[in-house]
Structure 1
């Protein structure tokens, strides 16, 4: 007769299933409480007075200005960080040089510094009484016949300060996505291309870039989401300006200006929440596409 399998294994298997279900249920509960529920509250309050009140808050002139400044800042900061991230990742993973570990540490620096402290450093550096304030805060008047044009090089409480703060906060994202990917890929393909006579640019455009395109897109998505939602550093460098206000700052100002009616603030906040949802969807699509390509490439 065949020996009956020990009941201990069945008990362990049942215990594993219970543990798995418990952990899954706990994760679903936490996600629902801390992610889904707050998101639902935002849209609930935003639509609390109907679509007309929601549209009036969203289509307000100040909201348009804040959205335009947010998009402009993102359009400047993300390409700069993309170029820096690709260059830094390529240098760190494909070459050996002195100070490589220091460069990697500096890339991670914004993760360890509070955004408020980063904004304060910019104020202390480029403010009116800052270290470089006397050199950068200048106003020039250009005469054009009957008209005169006033040009200012002010950084703090102006667009350049907002861009600098956003670039500083978001510049690790692209590099940090590419460095592990490029380290795992190694340098064999680049070395083969070099032996076959390709120059540096040909190696980058035809070998390196195609291999990292999905990781690069993933980093750009994260960088864009972070740039559009940055509050602390931008608040410090633009708090003294009434017209240099991004969407996160506009939400804060509208909320405190209309504490009796929360619909305008939540309506504007729903725009950022909608961008976050779209970003998550695009991020999930990129992850799925990237994993599928890796499986096909490695024959999985």
Structure 2
């Protein structure tokens, strides 16, 4: 009896905490039918915000994949100096508020910053433009690929790679024929998690983007801007779209996990 009570109590708690709020967003979104939702999402600012979110994600995720693979190889295959410090820096986005990350980038790349004046003098704009938004997104989603890759590399060991090298395989051929195939599921999980984090990022991007409608506004920023302007249909519609994308990513994770277990 106590076991069932604990189980159903946990399910009820999760439902109240997660399912009910998301369900309310869905209800509020379609409260007046599909036409207002379509009108809100097909508007030029909404379409541009979605495009900007996808563009930032498409740029930042491959950067983190390359960084994650290289850093994972260094941590798992080499005697890396200051290994503890490197691990600490990788996990920093988990512990630090995204707003603080945005402020740090602003101090670094803004006018009067360490390299901000040099960038302005050479006509290079980082803040309030796509480069700053990508930098912020790369920073906040940096740990996911690394933390998926390192355990797999440590479990894999080096026996197969050493055998390939003894048979005359070069480093690049060994990597692409032995190491990379073994990392495929870790990379898939890292890409999915990084994409979800990049699409939903608000705090750091809000600092460095300027939140200019139709220029540097991502979909999370669009939700906040519409809500502040009392456009409930626009904010609920965009919020529901973000929730739907998140649920699709979660479903993809579950499907991939099942396929992995059946292999």
TM-score, normalising length: structure 1: 0.84
User: RMSD between aligned alpha carbons?
Assistant: 1.4
Distance 1:138 1:23, change over 3 A: farther
Rounded to whole Å, the distance in 2 between the matches of 1:241 and 1:137 is 20
Distance 1:240 1:53, change over 3 A: closer
Shift of 1:176: 0.6
Q: Could you list the per-position Cα deviations for residues 197-243 of structure 1 after superposition, in whole angstroms to 9, with x for gaps in the alignment?
A: 21111111111111110111011000000000000000111236342
1:245 equivalent in structure 2:
217
- Would you say 1:255 and 2:238 are equivalent positions? no
- Would you say 1:179 and 2:150 are equivalent positions? yes
Task: Specify every segment of 5 or more residues in structure 1 that has no aligned partner in the other structure, as ranges.
Answer: 1-17, 140-151, 294-300
- Would you say 1:20 and 2:3 are equivalent positions? yes
1:91 equivalent in structure 2:
74
2:179 equivalent in structure 1:
208
Rounded to whole Å, the distance in 2 between the matches of 1:183 and 1:26 is 38
Question: Could you say what secondary structure the match of 2:160 adopts?
Answer: helix
Rounded to whole Å, the distance in 2 between the matches of 1:24 and 1:75 is 40
Distance 1:207 1:228, change over 3 A: same
Contact 1:138–1:154 under 8 Å retained in 2: no
2:236 pairs with 242, 266, 280, which one?
Answer: 266
Shift of 1:99: 2.4
Contact 1:157–1:239 under 8 Å retained in 2: yes
- Would you say 1:111 and 2:83 are equivalent positions? no
Contact 2:211–2:217 under 8 Å retained in 1: no
1:81 equivalent in structure 2:
64
1:285 equivalent in structure 2:
255
Say which is worse superposed, 159-168 or 128-137, in terms of deviation. 128-137
Max Rg structure: 1
2:200 equivalent in structure 1:
229
Shift of 1:31: 2.0
1:62 equivalent in structure 2:
45
Q: Could you list the per-position Cα deviations for residues 77-122 of structure 1 after superposition, in whole angstroms to 9, with x for gaps in the alignment?
A: 0000000001111111122232223222221111111100000000
1:159 equivalent in structure 2:
130
Shift of 1:249: 0.3
Distance 1:86 1:19, change over 3 A: farther
Rounded to whole Å, the distance in 2 between the matches of 1:31 and 1:188 is 44
Q: Could you list the per-position Cα deviations for residues 230-261 of structure 1 after superposition, in whole angstroms to 9, with x for gaps in the alignment?
A: 00000111236342100000000001112xx5
Distance 1:262 1:279, change over 3 A: same
Contact 1:43–1:270 under 8 Å retained in 2: yes
2:85 equivalent in structure 1:
102
Rounded to whole Å, the distance in 2 between the matches of 1:30 and 1:74 is 32
2:103 pairs with 98, 117, 120, which one?
Answer: 120
Count of residues in Structure 1 that have an aligned counterpart in Structure 2: 262
TM-score, normalising length: structure 2: 0.95
Q: After TM superposition, what 4+ stretches of structure 1 lie above 4 angstroms from structure 2?
A: none
